[in-house]
């Protein structure tokens, strides 16, 4: 492990710290925002804050700083392990990846990825998947789940980690995030919404001593209306923790960006939980604390070889409080926030301790793998946390399957169909389903992308396993080149399995360093060629795609024999049977695209391409503003291959009899926000140096990060603290708490923003001959009188029906909030409805390009048979 630590630091040469910010293009600002707002002022957190503050007022300086950082990378069982405060009953907190299940363990479920869950457009399934994930984290003794991911938002089609989130639209992403959070936290696990913010590509994401991380330059309106939207909803649902991104925003590293953490997150969104750094994203001690960071993970410095075990915080935080550079008030707030989240989830009541070890699969091993000498002990107890979670995993994988094309009703297949199966993706990786660490390879069935967002498979039910279980009549050619011996017959149906993969930057797969640099949006392993070759010999071809995101299909999509195309996304362990249920028609497919499929990569604006090497800090300027994915295609009048939200079924649906009812009368700006409530108060006096001294006879472990100081160091720091010396605080620094901006007032922002402006209902009828589920998608079109440049349509809500038998109907309820009708006014710094009496078009239908029902807000009436706005 020590060798690994040296290795992973080889690129980090000791030298000058990054002191100066690189300039960013004019107009992109991260204004100073101080101080860090205290938490505890919303009613729903007051009891947890009461408990937390009772404890904090009784804790020593070193106990408090010990909770705000990890004990070092690979210095505990989990990917992140905070220090403890055992004297007051607080254990180390275990933080563990990832969004689709417990990473690096056993007897867990490998759930369908976020993008797959997003493709279901099913709120109930999103929630139930969250509950099941939460149960597994709790069962393994994990306090903090490092998910869900809602950033990246999918601005860049080649971005490596889009698949961890739910789709390239802020509202779809927001529902995915908030329902996951509600599910996870219902089990007592603290969820972590990540990565704040605009973390849209993998390459150049991190700061190192040679190069600053990429700067995402985002204007204020775009930030609010796109990238912040899912975070606001997550905060509104009470998320306990937020992970700050590696990248910079407008030139300021997210991990010390006071505008983001203090201003936007804690004041405007009223976030009550704690902010943690991404792993080694922290690049300063005092500055990051003042800017609002509450927890440093995994605790180590990013700019010193990890083997030495040094920290910006822990002992340095202790020193900084003693010498007066970080006000004790800031430390008290950070500690209170962490403990408030702990109490809010009830983790003081019989919460299990970790019973697994992410570093080894052995039962017994070193307790601190990165220490030179570590005590050994039982580290893996192999606790089975799967319960019946395979059921929801399979349901989500199945209901995400998106049927894009189905000519001549080739699907569903009959049970006696003669099948010829092509492509290595149809069967498990012959080297073993977990043979590549963190799934860092694309071999065999692609059930998830790679990186920290992956999990080990307990088993993988492959498509071939699914066919075997059905006793289907099939022949499988386990190759990605067209075989000469397949003996095509006119009665055959050929099914071709193809993939496109991506992941996190620390692993490069087939030339792709996380982002899809070398593969582009093309299928991997000559998938296009394989499909064309199969299509040349077989008259009936089904293409099944396992993919992380958009791909190009033009080489084969229109070939006459390619009659059916299905996106099965990233199904996780239940890849096979979930697909069989759709292919053989047990259920009708009901997934819808969570992103647009282009005809060419040139269809996208240049600004959403990956940023390559640049001298100095890579600059990534979001010049396309609000116009990503379908909003761009619509504005530029480009017909995609398939529009956002598209998805066919084996049956057909009509949307009719819509109603719209005004609920809350609108005003141009929302009513004045409620004032902040009380927050805990503590002494602001610098604590005595003795609170930092090493306890006597303490048995130290080399490389472990502790919060204590030697007596002489603590005394020296305290002497500075009692002098008149002034720390050179950043520009704009103040230590006076603010009342908060007008757009704030509760978790997520001014509560009036979330009031229902209009209730909408629509009747969905199954007009075909088979059972199926439909999704009603609601898009808002701003009134024509509005002079504010706004996308033609924007998704604002959706609902899925239950299974409707042929001829059956269901009435779905959707809603439009005040925020849904507002724009972020950069001058007023508030959400503003541009034309209060204007006639907003509320469009409802089955896809973004298939909206034929329009309700008008001015007339409070709805009409069918309208021409779709795009």
Which residue numbers are catalytic? 278
Min dist. Cβ of residue 802 to ligand NOJ (A): 35
Q: Based on CB atoms, which residue is closest to ligand NOJ, 105 or 766?
A: 105
Query: Could you say whether residue 452 binds ligand NOJ (CB under 6 A)?
Result: yes
Q: Based on CB atoms, which residue is closest to ligand NOJ, 79 or 531?
A: 79
Q: Based on CB atoms, which residue is closest to ligand NOJ, 35 or 80?
A: 80
The owner of tokens 């993969």 is 501
Min dist. Cβ of residue 393 to ligand NOJ (A): 21
Number of neighbours of residue 557 by Cβ within 10 angstroms: 17
Euclidean distance between CA atoms 207 and 279, whole angstroms: 11
Mode of pairing for the β-strands spanning 619-621 and 562-567: unpaired
**Listed residue (12, 16, 712) closest to 300, CA to CA:** 12
Strand partners, 746: none
Min dist. Cβ of residue 358 to ligand NOJ (A): 9
Q: Based on CB atoms, which residue is closest to ligand NOJ, 192 or 590?
A: 192
Euclidean distance between CA atoms 771 and 206, whole angstroms: 49
Q: Based on CB atoms, which residue is closest to ligand NOJ, 146 or 232?
A: 146
Find the helix packing angle between 229-236 and 170-185, rounded to 10°.
Answer: 30
Question: What are the distances in angstroms from CA 599 to CA 296, 394, 555, 558?
Answer: 43, 31, 10, 12
In this structure, what token pair is assigned to residue 750? 């001014």
Min dist. Cβ of residue 149 to ligand NOJ (A): 7
Question: In the set 85, 146, 181, 579, which binds ligand NOJ (CB under 6 A)?
Answer: 146
Q: Based on CB atoms, which residue is closest to ligand NOJ, 243 or 321?
A: 243
Strand partners, 147: none
The owner of tokens 């983790």 is 347
Q: Based on CB atoms, which residue is closest to ligand NOJ, 161 or 592?
A: 161
Read off the DSSP letter of residue 186.
T
Q: Based on CB atoms, which residue is closest to ligand NOJ, 79 or 775?
A: 79
Number of neighbours of residue 547 by Cβ within 10 angstroms: 24
Min dist. Cβ of residue 244 to ligand NOJ (A): 10
Query: Could you say whether residue 441 binds ligand NOJ (CB under 6 A)?
Result: no
The owner of tokens 């809010």 is 344
Contact 773, 704 (CB under 8 A): no
Residue count, binding to ligand NOJ (CB under 6 A): 7
Min dist. Cβ of residue 130 to ligand NOJ (A): 17
Backbone angles phi, psi at 38, to 5 degrees: -70, 145
User: What residues contact residue 769 under an 8 Å CB cut-off, 6+ apart?
Assistant: 651, 806
In this structure, what token pair is assigned to residue 161? 């980690």
Euclidean distance between CA atoms 474 and 495, whole angstroms: 10
Binding to ligand NOJ (CB under 6 A): which residues in 556-575?
Answer: none
Q: Based on CB atoms, which residue is closest to ligand NOJ, 505 or 669?
A: 505
Instruction: Determine if the peptide bond prior to 351 is cis (ω within 30°).
Output: no
Q: Could you give the strand order of the β-sheet that contains 190-196, starting from the edge strand earlier in sequence?
A: 80-81, 94-96, 144-145, 190-196, 241-244, 274-277
**Listed residue (167, 94, 108) closest to 628, CA to CA:** 167
**Listed residue (489, 482, 496) closest to 417, CA to CA:** 489
Min dist. Cβ of residue 185 to ligand NOJ (A): 17
Question: In the set 107, 156, 194, 800, which binds ligand NOJ (CB under 6 A)?
Answer: 194
Query: Could you say whether residue 795 binds ligand NOJ (CB under 6 A)?
Result: no
**Listed residue (528, 520, 428) closest to 481, CA to CA:** 528
Question: In the set 79, 189, 757, 762, which binds ligand NOJ (CB under 6 A)?
Answer: 79
Min dist. Cβ of residue 299 to ligand NOJ (A): 12
Min dist. Cβ of residue 818 to ligand NOJ (A): 33
Query: Could you say whether residue 97 binds ligand NOJ (CB under 6 A)?
Result: yes
Euclidean distance between CA atoms 401 and 116, whole angstroms: 8
Q: Based on CB atoms, which residue is closest to ligand NOJ, 452 or 801?
A: 452
Min dist. Cβ of residue 4 to ligand NOJ (A): 15
Euclidean distance between CA atoms 123 and 800, whole angstroms: 8
Min dist. Cβ of residue 780 to ligand NOJ (A): 32
**Listed residue (200, 71, 328, 223) closest to 826, CA to CA:** 223
Question: What are the distances in angstroms from CA 15 to CA 19, 20, 23, 675, 778?
Answer: 12, 14, 22, 47, 54
Q: Based on CB atoms, which residue is closest to ligand NOJ, 5 or 587?
A: 5
Mode of pairing for the β-strands spanning 402-406 and 562-567: antiparallel
Euclidean distance between CA atoms 323 and 338, whole angstroms: 24
Euclidean distance between CA atoms 505 and 772, whole angstroms: 40
**Listed residue (56, 47, 48) closest to 87, CA to CA:** 56
Mode of pairing for the β-strands spanning 144-145 and 94-96: parallel
Q: Based on CB atoms, which residue is closest to ligand NOJ, 279 or 556?
A: 279
Min dist. Cβ of residue 513 to ligand NOJ (A): 14
Q: Based on CB atoms, which residue is closest to ligand NOJ, 118 or 598?
A: 118
In this structure, what token pair is assigned to residue 292? 């609002």
Contact 237, 178 (CB under 8 A): yes
Per-residue x/- track, 260-299, ligand NOJ (CB under 6 A): ------------------xx--------------------
Question: What are the distances in angstroms from CA 598 to CA 229, 520, 769?
Answer: 25, 13, 32
In this structure, what token pair is assigned to residue 593? 């695209």
Strand partners, 503: 450
CA 256, 259, 262: angle at the middle one, nearest 5? 80
Q: How do the residues of the chain divide into helix, strand and coil, expressed in percent and rounded to 5? A: 25, 20, 55
User: Strand, helix or coil at 89?
Assistant: coil
Min dist. Cβ of residue 102 to ligand NOJ (A): 12
What is the number of residues in the chain? 870
Chain residues in the site for ligand NOJ (CB under 6 A): 79, 97, 146, 194, 278-279, 452
């Amino acid at each position: 492990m020590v060798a690994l630590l040296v290795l992973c630091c080889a690129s980090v040469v000791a030298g000058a710290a990054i002191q100066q910010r690189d300039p960013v293009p004019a107009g992109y600002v991260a204004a100073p925002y101080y101080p860090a707002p205290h938490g505890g002022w919303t009613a729903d957190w007051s009891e947890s804050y009461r408990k937390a503050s009772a404890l904090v007022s009784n804790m020593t300086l070193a106990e408090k700083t010990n909770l705000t950082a990890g004990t070092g990378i690979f210095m505990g069982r989990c990917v992140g392990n905070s220090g403890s405060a055992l004297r007051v009953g607080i254990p180390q907190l275990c933080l563990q990846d990832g969004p689709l299940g417990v990473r690096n363990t056993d007897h867990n479920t490998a759930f369908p990825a976020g993008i797959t869950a997003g493709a279901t457009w099913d709120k109930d399934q999103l929630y139930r998947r969250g509950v099941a994930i939460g149960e597994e984290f709790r069962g393994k003794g994990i306090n903090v789940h490092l998910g869900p991911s809602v950033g990246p938002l999918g601005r860049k089609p080649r971005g490596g980690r889009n698949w961890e989130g739910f789709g390239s639209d802020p509202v779809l992403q927001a529902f995915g995030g908030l329902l996951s959070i509600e599910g996870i936290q219902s089990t007592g696990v603290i969820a972590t919404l990540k990565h704040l913010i605009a973390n849209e590509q993998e390459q150049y994401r991190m700061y190192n001593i040679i190069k600053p991380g990429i700067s995402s330059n985002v204007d204020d309106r775009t930030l609010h209306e796109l990238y912040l939207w899912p975070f606001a909803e997550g905060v509104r649902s009470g998320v306990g923790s937020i992970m700050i991104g590696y990248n910079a925003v407008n030139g300021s590293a997210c991990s010390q960006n006071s505008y983001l953490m203090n201003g936007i997150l804690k004041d405007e969104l009223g976030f009550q939980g704690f902010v943690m750094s991404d792993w080694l994203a922290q690049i300063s001690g005092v500055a990051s604390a003042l800017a609002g960071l509450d927890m440093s993970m995994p605790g180590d410095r990013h700019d010193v070889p990890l083997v030495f075990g040094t920290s910006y915080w822990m002992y340095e935080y202790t020193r900084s409080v003693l010498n007066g550079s970080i006000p004790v008030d800031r430390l008290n707030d950070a500690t209170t926030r962490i403990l408030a989240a702990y109490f809010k989830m009830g983790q003081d009541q019989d919460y299990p301790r970790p019973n697994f070890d992410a570093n080894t699969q052995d039962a017994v091993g070193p307790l601190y793998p990165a220490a030179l000498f570590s005590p050994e002990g039982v580290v893996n107890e192999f606790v089975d946390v799967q319960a019946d979670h395979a059921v929801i995993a399979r349901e989500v994988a199945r209901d995400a399957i998106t049927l894009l094309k189905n000519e001549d009703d080739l699907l569903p297949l009959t049970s006696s169909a003669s099948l010829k199966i092509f492509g290595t993706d149809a069967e498990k990786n012959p080297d073993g389903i977990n043979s590549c660490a963190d799934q860092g390879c694309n071999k065999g069935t692609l059930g998830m992308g790679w990186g920290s967002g992956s999990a080990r498979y307990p088993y993988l039910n492959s498509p071939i396993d699914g066919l075997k279980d059905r006793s289907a009549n099939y022949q499988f050619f386990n190759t990605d080149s067209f075989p000469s011996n397949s003996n095509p017959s006119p009665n055959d149906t050929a099914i071709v399995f193809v993939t496109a993969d991506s992941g996190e930057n620390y692993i490069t797969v087939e030339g792709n360093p996380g982002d899809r640099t070398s593969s582009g949006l093309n299928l991997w392993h000559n998938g296009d060629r394989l499909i064309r070759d199969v299509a040349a010999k077989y008259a009936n071809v089904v293409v099944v795609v396992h993919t992380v995101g958009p791909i190009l299909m033009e080489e084969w999509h229109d070939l006459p024999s390619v009659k059916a195309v299905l996106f099965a996304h990233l199904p996780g362990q239940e890849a096979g049977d979930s697909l069989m249920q759709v292919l053989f028609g047990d259920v009708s497919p009901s997934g819808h695209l969570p992103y647009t499929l282009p005809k060419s990569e040139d269809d996208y604006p240049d600004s959403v391409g990956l940023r390559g090497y640049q001298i100095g800090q890579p600059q990534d300027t979001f010049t396309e503003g609000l116009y990503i994915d379908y909003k761009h295609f619509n504005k530029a009048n480009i017909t995609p291959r398939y529009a956002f939200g598209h998805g066919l079924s084996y049956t057909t649906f009509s949307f009719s009899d819509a109603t719209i009812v005004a609920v809350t009368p609108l005003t141009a700006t929302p009513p004045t926000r409620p004032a902040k409530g009380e927050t805990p108060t503590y002494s602001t006096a610098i604590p005595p140096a003795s609170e930092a001294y090493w306890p006597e006879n303490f048995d130290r472990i080399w490389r472990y990060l502790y919060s204590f100081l030697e007596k002489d160091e603590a005394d020296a720091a305290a002497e500075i603290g009692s002098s008149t010396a002034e720390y050179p605080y950043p520009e704009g620094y103040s230590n006076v708490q603010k009342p908060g901006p007008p757009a704030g007032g509760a978790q997520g922002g001014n509560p009036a923003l979330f009031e229902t402006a209009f209730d909408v209902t629509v009747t969905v009828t199954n007009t075909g001959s088979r059972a199926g589920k439909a999704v009603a998608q609601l898009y808002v079109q701003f009134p024509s009188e509005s002079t504010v440049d706004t996308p033609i349509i924007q998704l604002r809500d959706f609902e899925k029906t239950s299974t409707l038998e042929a001829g059956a109907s269901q009435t779905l309820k959707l809603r439009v909030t005040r925020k849904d009708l507002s724009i972020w006014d950069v001058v007023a710094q508030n959400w503003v409805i541009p034309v209060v009496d204007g006639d907003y078009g509320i469009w409802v239908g089955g896809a973004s390009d298939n909206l034929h029902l329009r309700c008008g807000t001015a007339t409070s009436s709805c009409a069918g048979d309208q021409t779709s706005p795009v």
